[in-house]
């Protein structure tokens, strides 16, 4: 296993890229409304990232054709922005941004709600956000990586939801996807121990129904729930500090550095 412990210079670079990725999500909020296409949102995001001297990491990544992922309703992740995907009242969607700034990667995503949605959808979105928070609270040197997934899955299941286990969080910073893999469902005190200087994402995907994923054959990317029930996701890039964590993609100061 090759887990890069980032040095000061790398951490500073990844911090800047992560901040930009977080700022993209703040920027796009005002444009997420009924009637707009996900293609239009992608164009705005593309221009914003390029305008800040960065590169959208998803563009051409293993053939992915757009500058972000936008995943609506039953799409778990890797939704491709398209002109014929028009936001409508009640939709829930995840926008996932990965930036490359001066060669460093930052990766973050959050849910948006179009107009008024159902009680169930709201409960799912709020529970998924809480799952990410619970995962983050487990980040500190010496704690087991598995305790992140343990905390997430325990809560998700207690809420009556399921945890997607076919996609995971990941080391990030020097490359898009590095080791270690961060499972969102795991046993207590399993896996490796976290060390200062590790940087990885936590990005739980939580489903209303069955946990399994089916990728659309038409594009080879769009990952949907097998029962077409709803799925939600939130993601942050997190640095393990000497005493706890720093949420590098948190630009709204929701998390204090611990």
Residue ranges binding ligand MF3 (CB under 6 A) = 58, 61-62, 64, 69, 78, 96, 98, 107, 201, 203, 221, 235
Which residue blocks in the chain are alpha helix, DSSP H? 8-28, 38-51, 119-136, 146-158
- Kindly tell me which of 74 and 107 has the beta carbon lying closer to Co ion: 107
- Kindly tell me which of 8 and 214 has the beta carbon lying closer to ligand MF3: 214
Radius of gyration of the CA atoms of the chain, in A: 17
Who contacts 169 (Cβ-Cβ below 8 Å, separation ≥6)? 148, 181, 182, 183, 184, 200, 201, 202, 203, 235
The residue within the footprint of Co ion, chosen from 42, 107, 178, 183 (CB under 5 A), is 107
Tell me the window of 41-49, 152-160, 182-190, 227-235 that interacts with Co ion (CB under 5 A): 227-235
Beta-strand pair 213-215/223-225: antiparallel
Who contacts 126 (Cβ-Cβ below 8 Å, separation ≥6)? none
Tokens of 233: 């996701």
Tokens of 178: 């590095």
We find the least distance from the C-beta atom of residue 6 to ligand MF3, in angstroms, to be: 18
Number of residues that bind Co ion (CB under 5 A): 5
Interface with Co ion, residue 201, by CB under 5 A: yes
Tokens of 58: 């998803």
In angstroms, what CA-CA distances link 140 with 57, 72, 137, 184?
Answer: 28, 33, 8, 17
We find the least distance from the C-beta atom of residue 155 to ligand MF3, in angstroms, to be: 21
Interface with Co ion, residue 233, by CB under 5 A: no
The residue within the footprint of Co ion, chosen from 23, 74, 96, 178 (CB under 5 A), is 96
- Kindly tell me which of 62 and 218 has the beta carbon lying closer to ligand MF3: 62
Contact mark string toward Co ion, 116..135, x via CB under 5 A: --------------------
User: Which residues of the shown chain bind Co ion in the complex (CB under 5 A)?
Assistant: 96, 107, 109, 201, 235
């Amino acid at each position: 296993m090759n887990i890069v412990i980032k040095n000061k210079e790398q951490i500073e670079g990844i911090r800047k890229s992560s901040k930009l990725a977080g700022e993209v999500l703040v920027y796009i909020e005002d444009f997420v409304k009924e009637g707009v296409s996900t293609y239009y949102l992608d164009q705005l995001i593309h221009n914003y990232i390029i305008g800040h001297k960065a590169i959208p990491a998803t563009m051409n990544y293993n053939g992915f054709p757009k500058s972000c992922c936008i995943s609506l309703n039953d799409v778990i992740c890797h939704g491709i922005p398209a002109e014929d995907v028009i936001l409508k009242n009640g939709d829930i969607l995840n926008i996932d941004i990965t930036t490359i700034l001066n060669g460093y990667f930052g990766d973050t995503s959050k849910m948006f709600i179009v107009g008024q949605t159902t009680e169930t959808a709201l409960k799912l979105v709020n529970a998924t956000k809480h799952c990410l928070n619970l995962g983050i609270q487990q980040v500190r040197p010496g704690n087991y990586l598995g305790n992140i997934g343990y905390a997430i899955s325990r809560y998700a299941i207690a809420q009556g939801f399921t945890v997607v286990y076919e996609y995971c969080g990941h080391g990030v910073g020097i490359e898009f996807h590095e080791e270690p893999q961060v499972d969102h469902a795991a046993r207590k005190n399993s896996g490796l121990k976290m060390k200062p200087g590790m940087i990885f994402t936590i990005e739980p995907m939580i489903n209303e129904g069955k946990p399994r994923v089916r990728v659309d054959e038409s594009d080879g990317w769009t990952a949907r729930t097998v029962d077409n029930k709803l799925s939600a996701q939130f993601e942050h890039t997190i640095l393990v500090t000497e005493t706890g964590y720093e949420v590098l993609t948190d630009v709204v100061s929701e998390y204090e550095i611990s």
